[in-house]
Amino acid sequence: MSIQERKARILINKAGGNAGPEGRNYRVALPAAWVKQLGITSADREVLLQFDGESITIRRAAAADYDRFLAQARKRGHDLLILYFYDGDTLCTKICADQTSRQLAVENLTDDPLATAFGVNSSPTWEDLRIFLESRCVPRQRDGLSHYLTELGLDHYDPLEIIRKTAGRMAEDYFWIKILEG
C-alpha cells in the first residue's frame, strides 16, 4: 500500500467555555475514504494521536490492541517485524513493528515495567523502537567497534542486524530478543 497525501487547511476557531481570550480550537477534515478504511464508525470512533515533534499520526485506538493490529497489518500485506522480549525464559513483551506504516503495537505480559521493552510507555513510537533496539546493542562509540562488527559478519552498525546475531543479549542482565518475520 502506498502512502496517500492530501493538502488540507486547519480550521481555527475561538475556544468557548471557560477558555481564555486567546484560546483556540484546531480541527482538520479527514477524507471519508480514509476514515472508513481505518474502520472508524459512529459507534467506535476513539482514536490515538501521536506527535513526534514533526508529524501527527492518527490511528484507531483499538488498533493498539496487539492481536487486532497484527491481523489488520497482515490483511493489508504490510511488512512486519515481530519481536519477543524475554527475561530469561519468561516472555515479557511482544512487539509488532509494521515497517510499512511505521507503527507499533505492544503487548506486555508482565506488570513489572522494569521487565518490559518500553517501561511504562504503553504507546511507543517508531523512534522509541529504534532507541530500544540500540539499547540492546554494543554502543556506537565503543572502542574496537569495527572489529566487533567484523566478528559478527557485519560491515556497518545496524542495531537490528546486531540483534539478529546476538539476540540482544548483554552481560549485565538476562534479557534477550527473539526476532520473527511477520
- Model pTM above 0.95: no
Specify the pLDDT at position 21: 84
Q: What is the pLDDT of residues 30-64, one digit of tens each?
A: 999 888 887 787 777 778 788 888 888 887 765 45
Query: Cα(136)–Cα(85) distance, rounded to whole angstroms?
Result: 11
Q: What is the per-residue pLDDT across 94-123, written as a single tens digit (0 to 9) for each?
A: 999 999 989 999 999 998 999 999 999 888
User: How many angstroms separate the CA atoms of 49 and 72, rounded?
Assistant: 19
Which residues, at least 6 apart from 160, have a Cβ–Cβ distance to it below 8 Å? 81, 133, 179
Contact 85/116 with Cβ under 8 angstroms? yes
